[in-house]
Structure 1
Amino acid sequence: MIGKKIIESEPVSGAEVKEIIEEYSENNELNYEQNLTINHLARFKRYSVEDSKEILEKLHEAFPNMKAKVAVHIVDLVPKDLADLRLIFAKEAYQPNKEEMEQILEILEQYDIVE
């Protein structure tokens, strides 16, 4: 891509991506990749956009050392137990202890998953 440069990059949850693509599709035709993305996002259970944003805020406040992309993975993957969380943190520099992981699960349990 000659002449194009990424100015800013910010991880967003799957729920936000789905909402953005759906809004875009109201006025424009989706390309192949966008259709694949929307079909993929429709297959999985996830939190609503509002809940996703709230969870990300709470995770950032409770765990300032956690990278934003890891928090987004937590919201998108909806871990159910400590084993799932350990997999998310497997290759990360920040490794929460058992109590912190339980706190993450408690934050997630406060919200309902949208089918």
Structure 2
Amino acid sequence: MIGKRVLSQEPVTLAEVKELTEAREKEGELTYEQTLTMDYCNKFAKLDKKKAEELIAEVEGLEKLSRRHAISLSDLLPSNADEIKLLFSKEHFVLSDEEISKLLDIVGKYKG
């Protein structure tokens, strides 16, 4: 990694990581870390890129929530209020029961 530096950072969904890793695999052999990443994405990516982006767009429309929050929701697809509360437990805001219910409704549309 000598001579390499980070040019920019932005959060991405597991679906995007999977797509990027698959594209890299077509170019040549994957490194050990890339192979581990591909295995992880195959096990845990629950949505494809298109559905993940749709969910993110819906969640970003809500007050308080950023793209980073929306990506976490699309990757984890929480199924109950406790999981959502746990996901946002370290944030500097508290979601109301109504907001949690709305998030569960949004996530529920993409789960099945």
Using structure 2 for the length normalisation, give the TM-score. Answer: 0.89
In the TM superposition, what whole-angstrom CA distance separates every residue of 1:83-113 from its partner, at most 9, and x where no partner exists? 1101100101132111101101111111245
Share of identical aligned residues, percent? 31
Match of 1:60 in 2: 60
- Tell me by how many angstroms 1:68 deviates: 2.2
1:105 partner amino acid: L
Q: Which has the higher helix share?
A: 2
Alpha-carbon distance in structure 2 between the residues aligned to 1:21 and 1:45: 13
CA RMSD of aligned residues (A): 1.7
What runs of 5+ residues in structure 1 fail to find an aligned partner?
Answer: none
What runs of 5+ residues in structure 2 fail to find an aligned partner?
Answer: none
1:110 partner amino acid: K
Match of 1:96 in 2: 95
Alpha-carbon distance in structure 1 between the residues aligned to 2:107 and 2:54: 10
Match of 2:25 in 1: 25
Using structure 1 for the length normalisation, give the TM-score. Answer: 0.87
In the TM superposition, what whole-angstrom CA distance separates every residue of 1:39-75 from its partner, at most 9, and x where no partner exists? 1111125111101001111111123x22322221111
Alpha-carbon distance in structure 2 between the residues aligned to 1:75 and 1:94: 20
2:96 partner amino acid: N
Alpha-carbon distance in structure 2 between the residues aligned to 1:7 and 1:99: 39
- Tell me by how many angstroms 1:2 deviates: 5.7
Matches within 5 A, 1:1-115: 3-44=3-44, 46-63=46-63, 65-113=64-112
Question: Aligned residue pairs: how many?
Answer: 112
